[in-house]
Structure 1
Amino acid sequence: MNRKQLIKEIQKKRSFLCVGLDTDLSKIPGHLLREKDPVFEFNRQIIDATADYAVAYKPNIAFYEALGPKGWESLNKTLEYIPKDIFTIADAKRGDIGNTSSLYAKAFFESMDFDSITVAPYMGVDSVKPFLEFEGKWVILLALTSNEGSKDFQLFGAANGKPLFQEVLEKSSQWGSPENMMYVVGATRGEKIGEVRKIVPDHFFLVPGVGAQGGSLEEVAKYGMNRECGLLVNSSRGIIYAGSDHNFAQAARNEAGKLQQEMEALLDMYL
């Protein structure tokens, strides 16, 4: 999916919601465990319930890798089930160099046909460029994350007074473009989102941290929205685990619908 198509979906659905498919066998409703593929059945019902409101789905690859071959099968079935007009994100956070990165890219972009993948930039351009060589695919680069440990490095001041995340943004924006690169910017950072937006005014942000992590959707829009929206705001646990019984999918739909209504109001306010 290209940038124009993604923006069109945001405009059509009046939403910039990304639903995180962090599917954990220990958390899904117990009755699903009797299914042949409980993970896929859970995902299928979540997708059916939320596709009206979501413009993106983001499977967290670790939840599938941990299950071995069955997990990869569940992931592939999930990816095939997601409607083709919805953006897909492999939340894999890969970061290596040379042939290794090329093969990671081939795995997620060719074998599985994800639209995008999250990538860690710590090893520099060598770890990112191979992903950018796939036409029509996106790199979502870790820039300023919402976890507590991000302070260890991302906010650390360089010799010239710039924190590391600013150096990452300035340097990496030369590798790709707003047509094939996004940035992960955590919702719990408030005004820091505005600092990121000043450096990369036209790029899309994937924003985790709204919902269970306590980030404010209003602040994200205030500091991060650009003239084309430029945001994909992710909610995982807050949506997919909103219910724990046979009505879990309806509970997920209700939560996704609430977020979509808030997002529509924010789009009307800022665009």
Structure 2
Amino acid sequence: MSSLPKPAAWTHPLPVAHPPADLAIYHLPTGTYETRAALAVRGGSFRDKRHFAASAVLIRHPEGDLLIDAGFGAGVAAHVALLPRFVRAPYQVGRTVREQLDDAGYDRGRLLGVLLTHSHWDHTSGLDGLRGTPIWMNANERQYAATDPDGKVFRQVSQGREIHEYGFADQPYLGFDSSYDVHGDGSVVIVLAGGHTTGSVIVFVTLPAGPRYAFIGDLTWQIDGIRRRVERPWLLSKLADSDPGRLRQDLLRMIALDGLMRIVPAHDLGSYDDIPLLTREAAARSH
């Protein structure tokens, strides 16, 4: 196994953020699917079976809430059937995002939209239960999703949906060239990390008490990619990544930030451990 060279740690001050006192995040797990570690990161073992998370994260903000990704939807079986046979894996289904929101008594009218880290099936399946909620995408990902074979599920679940297209006009952020500050207070900042898909993004969230999170989508599938500085296996990267060179650069940027914030790869189940689930009490506080 060959690790990437260790980048210099980030030594500049972290960006200023003024999150409102009631900003909060919640984990909405919708299921898992099985993948061997050998297929997830270089140097992984075929004996090490990983349960890849299919999750969403709710960001509660007084100016309107966002979901990061949508996890598995009610139609997940049909969505899996749209995939090439060689990428299908055993999966376990939990409650959909819509079911979790409704069971908690959450007012879905508070949602500004579903902010996709990218448009692959395991991030978009749950859009089938969130009709009426806009889909947030940048122009690069919108074009990718409209034409790439891996956008089949997205194209099905997004038919007739409102797409909110955002750009990256704000200043550089943590080594990334440009950013989009969603609320203008530094609490939720999106950066383009277009290596996995051409419009993949990372979402940085700063909580009121100071903890910071980086929701990195599929920059790496498991936290091993950050901690052991390893990329996807060569063949999997060839199949899955639009620009492996750019992905490597962005992975090194995030490795340099490890320890300064909680880094959450979308499919690493353990990385969500300290993010609370949405309860009726928590949902009531968001009204």
Is the shorter-chain TM-score for this pair beyond 0.5, marking a shared fold? no
TM-score by length of 1: 0.31
TM-score by length of 2: 0.29
More strand by percentage: 2
More helix by percentage: 1
